[in-house]
Amino acid sequence: MSFDEFVLHLAIGTSFGLLLFLLASGFTLTFGLARFINLAHGAVFLVSAYVATAVGEDGGFLLAVLAAAGTGVVLSLAVYASARIRWGRLGSDELGQVILTFGLLLVFADVARSSWEGLPRSLQEPGFLDGSWAIGDTSFPTYRAFMGGLSLLLAFSLWWLQERTEFGALVRAGVDDREMLQASGVSAGPLYVAVFALGGLLAGVAGGLGAPVLGAAMGQEFTILVFAFVIVVLGGLGSLLGAFAASLAVGIADAFGKAYIPTFAEFTMMGLVVLVLAWRPGGLFGLGTR
Amino acid sequence: MLIFRLISRSGGRSAVFVAAALATVAFAACGGGGDDEAGGEKQGADTVRIGVLLPYTGPFGLYGKPMEATLRARLAKAGNKVDGRRVQLVFEDEATDAKTAVSKATKLIEQNDVDAIVCCPTGAATLAVGPIANQAKIPQIGPIPNPAGLSKFSTAAVAAPTAAHDAEVLGGYAATKLGYKSAAVIASDFAYGKEVAAGFAKGFKGAGGTIAKQTFAPLGTTDFGSYLARGGNADVTFAGFAGEDAIRFVQQYKKFGAKAPLIGHGPLLTELVLKAIGEAAVGVGAGFYYSSQLDNPANKEFIDTMKGANSKFVPSHFTAGAWATGSLIIDAIKRAGDDVHDGEAFAKTIRATQIEAPWGPLRFDQKTGYAVAPTYFYTVTKDGGQLHHQIKEEISL
């Protein structure tokens, strides 16, 4: 492996990993705070990506990503609302949640199927990002650098929100000990709504931002969900830092796996999970054996 | 709600009545699938029933409805009648799944008493239904390129060449006319991809070329970057992808600095994915038996009819195959005459049929039951903001 190639695969993996972080962070936050397993997250990504491709046809790239983000928020809040109709409190019935959100995943995905006839679609990247950068003999698409950079910026904002604001402090307190938070007079309800909306926003942005690379196609609701699962388990449930590290690890392992052992490409990611869980059963930054 | 009123009025005494009412409602609700079934018995020998298994759900779910519309439109052109015999279509969902296809095929044969089965767009389903149709002595017509493997059933006829055939012809063409010495092959890691990769390699090597590298990528690969970055230095790249994989692959191909020209088997550039691929498709070539740009009367009639009914209709080899299947059924019933209800004789007649399909003359290889059809080489061009195929020439081994 030449140095150029190494850098290229690293760049591919990093940009993809950063995009995955946007997706997984919402998933891990809702789980961490509300103990809510939102399987519909994959379909939120899918529908957002489809909306982005539809809006982008006439509206351009920026509008497409904004529309995707909006779609993500709306769908995620719809998941929250239907969960609240069923349960007065979230997080009390995990099997029920899985069934409910799996049902919603199928519903969302079928709405996308009937709206866009199940055809795979794509979003045109903005013109100035259309080219590639040369890395030695090979080249790296400019848009991916942009996608990675923007994802990194969003990840940083999320970190700031989580660590430096009162909202973040409340969420962290809720993740650590929900009863204690409520006992000290903070109502968890509005906090849940905010976290669901934030998770949907991030998934929607991921769908829109990823559309020029990943496109929108039926079946993505599941492939994306698997990525989110792997990252959340690998990073430790509810841990943003863990999700960040795991996203990069998964993205990079995926890139090198495809390049050097293509026959086992599917396996590299899962192999990583097995290794990490054998070493740290709670995930990289998990909360131990709680 | 009527049911609730019935229940409350009956007050529990006439439970049988309620049950019957419920059963009726449930039955009415389920009746959507095979809409043409009712009333079939009355016409007796004057009706030819054709069972049609299409995917309405599952990954291939998008092809079901347009194919049904096309088949209906083709038969409607003939007034749904051939020589005084009424032709009745019974549609069922094969759900992109071999098991479902088998149970639906059994249902069509045993309950609907069909005279022939059109099956299936899903390759695995076609192969699974093969022995069932054969045992029941019911002719089976494959509407699109299906995997090799139906040859052993004398009742089967596939109205399109195998995918491997077109890929092999393209392989030979690439090594001779296009003058490439070495090729890198990359394809989907499942039956379709392996079949076209092997077909291309056979044709290319047979004509003196060498395969520098062969890679298989999993179905639904999100990112081809790492595969492409190790493309090597072959003269040409052959790609065997379909659907969303085709879109991502072609879009990402040049962005990762791959310099060799790109060619592929038809589905890589079919009309269904072309618009989504966009600008990146320009200049990419493909070998295939169908393109909407083919200039012949059957193709024109097919596209005009379908666009007339639905201006947004996008022709592809799926719907062109459904159209050809319709023409085939009409012609075969005409030829069979009174033998149409004799499965073995009807199957023989189907294989003897010759029609004009949207891709040109269609006849069957009497030994294998697969269609003998021309292969075309085309590239993608853009004019007036629209991407379309530009047919270069008809190619052969």
Residues B214 and B354 in one domain: no
Q: Is residue B318 assigned to a domain?
A: yes
pLDDT (tens digit per residue) in B165-215: 999 999 999 999 999 999 999 999 888 899 999 999 999 999 999 999 899
Residues B275 and B227 in one domain: yes
Report yes or no: B312 at the A interface, CB cutoff 8 Å.
no
pLDDT (tens digit per residue) in A185-222: 888 888 889 999 999 999 999 999 999 998 898 888 99
Q: Is residue B20 assigned to a domain?
A: no
Chain centre to alpha carbon of residue B41:
30
- C-beta contacts of A80-84 below 8 A and 24+ residues apart: A80/A192, A80/A193, A80/A196, A83/A36
Asked if B62 lies within 8 A of A218 by C-beta distance, the reply is yes
Provide the terminal-to-terminal Cα distance of chain A, rounded to the nearest Å.
43
Read off the CATH number of the domain in which B66 is found: 3.40.50.2300
Q: Which of A126-140, A253-267, B56-70, B195-209 has the highest mean pLDDT?
A: B195-209
Report the residue count for chain A: 290
Residues B178 and B77 in one domain: no
Residues B204 and B303 in one domain: no
**A203 close to A225: Cβ distance less than 8 angstroms:** no
What b/e readout covers A19-34, taking b as 16+ CB neighbours within 10 angstroms? Answer: bbbbbbbbbbbbbbbb
ipTM of the prediction? 0.82
How many Cβ atoms from other residues are within 10 Å of residue B282's Cβ? 12
* Distance separating alpha carbons of residues A287 and A28, to the nearest angstrom: 13
Residues of A in contact with B225 (CB under 8 A): 12, 16, 141, 144, 255
pLDDT for residue B230: 63
Directed axis angle between helix A41-59 and helix A61-86, to 10°? Answer: 150
Q: Is residue B266 assigned to a domain?
A: yes
Q: Is residue B43 assigned to a domain?
A: no
How near does any CA of chain B get to the CA of A218, in Å?
7
Residues of B in contact with A113 (CB under 8 A): 61-62
**Tell me, what DSSP letter sits at residue A126?**
P
Number of domains in chain B: 2
**Tell me, what DSSP letter sits at residue B234?**
-
pLDDT for residue B72: 96
**B129 close to B150: Cβ distance less than 8 angstroms:** no
Residues B187 and B233 in one domain: yes
Residues B282 and B388 in one domain: yes
Report yes or no: A136 at the B interface, CB cutoff 8 Å.
no
Q: Which of A1-5, A113-117, B389-393 has the highest mean pLDDT?
A: B389-393
**Tell me, what DSSP letter sits at residue B370?**
B
Tell me the whole-structure pTM to 2 decimals: 0.83
pLDDT for residue A1: 66
Q: Is residue B29 assigned to a domain?
A: no
pLDDT (tens digit per residue) in B206-226: 999 999 989 998 887 877 877
Residues facing residue B216 across a β-bridge: B187
* Distance separating alpha carbons of residues A215 and A274, to the nearest angstrom: 30
Does the pLDDT of residue B2 top 60, yes or no? no
Residues B204 and B312 in one domain: no
Chain B interface mutation, best of A45, A133, A142, A213, highest count of B Cβ atoms under 10 Å: A213
Q: Is residue B128 assigned to a domain?
A: yes
Residues B243 and B320 in one domain: no
Report yes or no: A214 at the B interface, CB cutoff 8 Å.
yes
Residues B63 and B128 in one domain: yes
What are the backbone dihedrals phi and psi of residue B83, each rounded to the nearest 5 degrees, phi first?
Answer: 50, 45
Measure CB to CB from residue A215 to each of B227, B229, B247 and give the nearest one: B247
Residues B180 and B263 in one domain: yes
Measure CB to CB from residue B215 to each of A122, A137, A262 and give the nearest one: A262
* Distance separating alpha carbons of residues A203 and A143, to the nearest angstrom: 19
As given in the structure block, the two tokens for residue B30 are 């389920």
What are the backbone dihedrals phi and psi of residue B92, each rounded to the nearest 5 degrees, phi first?
Answer: -140, 160
Asked if A121 lies within 8 A of B223 by C-beta distance, the reply is no
pLDDT classification of A290: cutoffs 50, 70, 90 = very low
CA-closest candidate to residue B258, choices B283, B228, B223: B228
Chain centre to alpha carbon of residue B168:
19
Does the pLDDT of residue B42 top 80, yes or no? no
Asked if A219 lies within 8 A of B247 by C-beta distance, the reply is no
3-state secondary structure of A135: strand
Residues B80 and B196 in one domain: no
Looking at A47-51, A92-96, B351-355, which range is the least confident one? A92-96
Chain centre to alpha carbon of residue A105:
15
Range of the domain at B228: 164-288+376-395
Q: Is residue B70 assigned to a domain?
A: yes
pLDDT for residue B227: 82
Residues B345 and B385 in one domain: no
Q: Is residue B112 assigned to a domain?
A: yes
Does the pLDDT of residue B128 top 50, yes or no? yes
pLDDT classification of A90: cutoffs 50, 70, 90 = low
